[in-house]
Amino acid sequence: MSQSLNILDVSLRDGSHSVRHSFTVEQVRAAAKGLNAAGVRYFEVTHGDGLGGSSLQYGLSKVDELKLIEAAVEEATFSEVSVLLIPGIGTKQDLQAAASIGAKMVRVATHVTEADVAAQHIGLGRELGLKTVGFLMMAHMTPVEKIVEQAKLFESYGAEVVYVTDSAGALLPHEVTARVAALKDTLQCDIGFHAHNNLSMALANTIAAIEAGANYIDGSLRALGAGAGNTQTEVMVAVLEKLGYQTGIDLYKLMDVANEVIAPLMQQPQEISGSSLVLGYAGVYSSFLLHAQKAAQQFGVDERDILMELGQRKTVGGQEDLIYEVAQQLVKA
């Protein structure tokens, strides 16, 4: 197949959730150096919740993210460093600071029905000369028609890529196909896809997205990411090469950075546990997992019950405080 793909690795951003935002400059530098040597075009570096995410609500970073971004940029002689920005968490000033130290891409992320809050951030990204992306999170929560409507808003603001983002790892391949194909048929810009593996569907969903027309694809080394992790970058590259897609990535070098740099810093294996499975089953934001585990321990309740209730309430990113409220209510019940 002749379709060329843009692989974006999120180990140093989505993986921040999994390691409780404890990345050091040395770890980021080593991973960035390896990703660059392997020929990965883009990789993302910020707190798990994006620029400005270091807080009591979302989790405090061990190291200021600007220092991590700066270290990554210094190693990225071929690769380009992306940053995530969620309006209401990150600010325009945060984005200007990231751009000033060499970030080349910004992905402005909103809930799937709230693209309108991102207009000024998308506009600023374009003004700063960044590759500017709209990131529609929790894409399982709304019908295809609504996703198309919101994606068109992102494009109208200047987004050069619009992502279908399966933040809960809740989608199945036919649902990914429907969403990506609808955007491909409607938009003039490029289409991206970001998966989580809570139902063990990440790679299958990624292939479905590519076949439906997505050409920006996310993964993380050793699947390091929130919940059960993301599509595993090195496995994805191997499968795509077997399918005949052009990735331009050196698989051996990618495996080396996964095994020699990322694996040693992982605090637990990325596997589908009972709780991460419930994330996908109930449709809950993947980064809620560690918060739910902490609340369950604090209040002596089953973390799966917390996650199921959060799914019933259709909670979205930014509602982390509800995790503890739900745990307290389960105790009373």
Residue 262 phi/psi, 5° resolution? Answer: -75, -45
Q: Of 195, 104, 196, 111, give the one whose Cα is nearest residue 154.
A: 111
Pairing of strands 190-194, 42-44: unpaired
Helices 202-212/233-243 angle, 10° precision: 40
If one counts every other C-beta atom within 10 angstroms of the C-beta of residue 88, the result is: 12
Q: Of 296, 287, 291, give the one whose Cα is nearest residue 316.
A: 287
250 is in an annotated binding site: no
Residue 87 phi/psi, 5° resolution? Answer: -55, 135
In sequence order, which residues have a C-beta less than 8 Å from that of residue 327 and are 6 or more positions away? 292, 295, 296, 298, 299, 301, 306
Q: Return d(Cα 16, Cα 78) in angstroms, integer.
A: 23
29 is in an annotated binding site: no
DSSP 8-class letter at 262: I
If one counts every other C-beta atom within 10 angstroms of the C-beta of residue 330, the result is: 17
121 is in an annotated binding site: no
Q: Return d(Cα 168, Cα 285) in angstroms, integer.
A: 5
> In sequence order, which ranges of 7-143 are alpha helices (DSSP H)?
14-18, 25-38, 65-75, 92-100, 119-127
Our answer to whether residue 17 is catalytic in this structure is yes
In the block, which residue shows the tokens 């992502």?
Answer: 163
Catalytic residue among 17, 47, 140, 291: 17
Altogether, the residues listed in the chain come to a count of 333
196 is in an annotated binding site: yes
Counts of helices then strands in the chain (DSSP H, E)? 15, 8
Which tokens is 190 given? 């490029």
Which residue numbers belong to the known binding site? Answer: 13-14, 167, 194, 196, 285
Q: Where is the binding site for Mn(2+), in residues?
A: 14, 194, 196
Q: Which residues participate in catalysis according to the annotation?
A: 17
* Binding-site residues for substrate: 13-14, 167, 194, 285
